[in-house]
Amino acid sequence: MRSFLIKYLVISLLAFCCHSLVQADELGAPVSLVSLIVNPDKYDGHKVNTAGILAWQRGEQSIYSTREQAENINITNSILLLLTEDDANRLLKKYHVTIDECNRSWIEIRGVFSPGKDNFPGALMDIVEIYPQGLILGRQNSTKKTPQKKPELNMNPLTH
């Protein structure tokens, strides 16, 4: 009876761990923007969740770790976003905002990371989620439509 109980506990623990790993892989790991910039090869091809200040203008779609870097367009401290305006607006529609409204605001984003080469920044591609955190927080006292609840991205820009 005791050996059966031990085997049951071990199998249950393994099943739980495997489920957690699969779920983390599907959602992507939370990674700070600084970690992506400093250690890009470590995250090559990985699904990641990160956050930063969005710079969305003609010829540049990037996120930065600070507002000052975004204003000065310091691309060495940025991650490019490989995303069309139409796709960005489609992802943001559930929050009742457009990509232009999110410009220079704090966002959380999920996609597949690709490191840059020859002093060019890395990029996020296959982006599946954009959460306009800066705008949502600013609209809490607004009369506009209440946006859909934030998805669980497990984001913390200071992790990793």
- Residue 145 has a pLDDT of 46
Contact 104, 70 (CB under 8 A): yes
State residue 152's pLDDT score: 54
Please give the model's pTM, rounded to 2 decimal places: 0.69
16 found inside a domain:
no
Which range marks the domain in which residue 66 is found? 29-138
Question: Is 10 inside a domain boundary?
Answer: no
List, for residues 141-158, the tens digit of each pLDDT value: 444 444 455 555 555 545
Q: Is residue 13 part of a domain?
A: no
Overall number of domains in the chain: 1
Low-confidence ranges of the chain (pLDDT < 50): 4-5, 8-10, 12-24, 140-147, 157, 159-160
- Say if 18 falls within a structural domain: no
Give the CATH number, domain containing residue 110.
2.40.50.200
Does residue 20 lie within any of the structural domains? no
Query: Contact, 43 vs 125, CB < 8 A?
Result: no
Q: Running DSSP on this structure, what letter comes out for residue 66?
A: S
Which pLDDT does position 80 carry in this prediction?
A: 94
- Alpha-carbon dihedral sign for residues 62, 67, 72, 74: negative
Question: Is 105 part of a structural domain of the chain?
Answer: yes
pLDDT given for residue 86 in this prediction = 94
**Is residue 19 a part of any domain in this protein?**
no
